[in-house]
Amino acid sequence: MATYSWPYVAVSRYQTKDSLGGEYLTFFDWVLVKANKLFLYHGVQEDLDGSDPVDWPVNENRLGPYGFRPTRSPISPDFQRSRGLESVDRRMNVNLDLLVVPEWS
């Protein structure tokens, strides 16, 4: 098992009113709840000014495949505001418990 944590994630990356597709809660519903495998990439740079918002690195920067290990039932995301900002919706903490799963080619 591997645990990954991202503290102080901007609330606009955690959730939006319209679920625009680039938020953690959308990822949670589309990937983690449905038990799809996932990969973690290091060194991903966002280009907010270009037509392609992400410059994907080569596979050597990839970890996984992983599967989500839910800590409770029903499966739901932890809603945890960042330390020092508990009374405002500005930053969230994201924690994922993941299992390494076999990859077949």
Any domain includes 33? yes
Residue 48 is predicted with a pLDDT of 65
What is the distance of C-alpha 50 from the center of its chain? 22
Any domain includes 24? yes
Into how many domains does the chain fold?
Answer: 1
Phi, psi of 14, deg, nearest 5: -85, -45
Rounded to whole angstroms, the Cα distance separating 94 from 105 reads 31
57 lies in which domain range?
2-100
Any domain includes 105? no
Rounded to whole angstroms, the Cα distance separating 105 from 102 reads 10
Residue 71 is predicted with a pLDDT of 81
> pLDDT by residue (tens digit) across 15-69?
887 767 668 888 899 999 998 999 888 877 776 666 666 767 767 778 889 999 9
Any domain includes 84? yes
pTM (predicted TM-score):
0.75
Task: Please report where in the chains the tokens 């966002």 appear, as a residue.
Answer: 46
